[in-house]
Amino acid sequence: MRLTRRSTILLRVAVGLGLAFIYIPLLVLGLYAFNASKILEWPPPGLTFEWFPKAIESTARDALWTSIKVALVATAIALKAIESTVAGGKAPTRATVAGAIRKVKYTGMTGAIEFDDKGDPKKASYYVMQVSSDNPEKWGDNKEAQRLAIAAPPLKK
């Protein structure tokens, strides 16, 4: 298919506007990461790296590590499902991988996971936290009081 010159220009303008809509806010947020002020003001009065060590020392580091563990486990489960679907030498389809994930029983760094017929975890994990302070700077001091693994309610028909 060959586009007319006008269509090509309009398509490029539309793509440019779409990309600007996505990336300009990201660039502004990136600039705010280096903001020297404790409040948001435009333009930022100065630039600093002050916030990065504070973020590393806070619970953000633990949240990042948890996200990495979840990503690794999700990848391992997907690879295990894909591996079971290609055993016959055929390319896997979305349906065969989805079916294989429902049969996966995986034990990894986040514990044992298996899935029901819908592809949901058979048991969901809930964490009951003992809150020691309402100060956000001390949220890292909160302790896990109890961890619950509760099965999903049955599907209503």
pTM of the model: 0.51
φ and ψ at residue 84, rounded to 5 degrees = -70, -25
| In the chain, % of residues over pLDDT 70 | 96
Q: What is the pLDDT of residues 7-32, one digit of tens each?
A: 999 999 999 999 999 999 999 888 88
Residue 136's Cα: distance from chain center in Å? 22
Q: What is the pLDDT of residues 90-112, one digit of tens each?
A: 788 888 888 888 888 888 777 78
CB-based burial, 111-125: b 16+ in 10 Å, e otherwise: eebebeeeeeeebee
The beta strands (E) that lie in 13-154 are given as 105-108, 111-114, 123-130, 143-151
Average pLDDT over residues 131-141: 80
How many angstroms separate the CA atoms of 63 and 69, rounded?
10
Tell me what the pLDDT averaged over the chain comes to. 83
How many angstroms separate the CA atoms of 105 and 135, rounded?
40
Q: Indicate the SS3 state at residue 71.
A: helix
pLDDT score of 3 more than 80: yes
| In the chain, % of residues over pLDDT 90 | 17
